[in-house]
């Protein structure tokens, strides 16, 4: 399994922002994932898919005014300050 860091920014000026946000998060929730409660547009995702495959899938719920990055997280290549639960989840899967 791979762990990917998924970060997105959705254009808040789109007329259907709330429903678009909810649809994107529901689509993302199909993956095993964890997020820090203080970072509402950041998730770690565990899947057998590549970063490119996850990106292509998630882009189906975004439009050209939104932004997305999906990057694979590998052992020894990450650091930061997040909740202990997020680090424990990530470290168990990397």
pLDDT tens-digit profile of 36-63? 989 999 999 999 999 999 999 999 999 9
What is the Cα–Cα distance from 46 to 2, expressed in whole angstroms?
A: 6
- pLDDT of amino acid 89: 94
2-93: CATH, from 1.10.20.60, 3.30.70.240, 3.30.1490.100, 2.40.50.1020: 3.30.70.240
pTM for the predicted model, two decimal places: 0.92
- Kindly tell me if the per-residue pLDDT of 77 is higher than 90: no
**Residue entry with tokens 């000026």:** 13
Contact of 88 with 3, CB cutoff 8 Å? no
- pLDDT of amino acid 14: 87
What is the Cα–Cα distance from 39 to 49, expressed in whole angstroms?
A: 23
Q: What confidence tier does 67 reach under pLDDT thresholds 50, 70, 90?
A: very high
């Amino acid at each position: 399994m791979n762990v990917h860091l998924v970060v997105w920014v959705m254009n808040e000026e789109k007329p259907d922002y709330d429903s678009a946000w909810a649809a994107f998060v529901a689509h993302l929730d199909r993956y095993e994932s964890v997020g820090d409660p203080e970072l509402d547009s950041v998730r770690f995702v565990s899947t057998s898919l590549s970063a490119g495959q996850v990106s292509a899938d998630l882009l189906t719920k975004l439009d050209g005014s939104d932004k997305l990055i999906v990057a694979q997280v590998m052992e020894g290549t990450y650091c930061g300050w997040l909740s202990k639960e997020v680090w424990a989840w990530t470290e168990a899967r990397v």
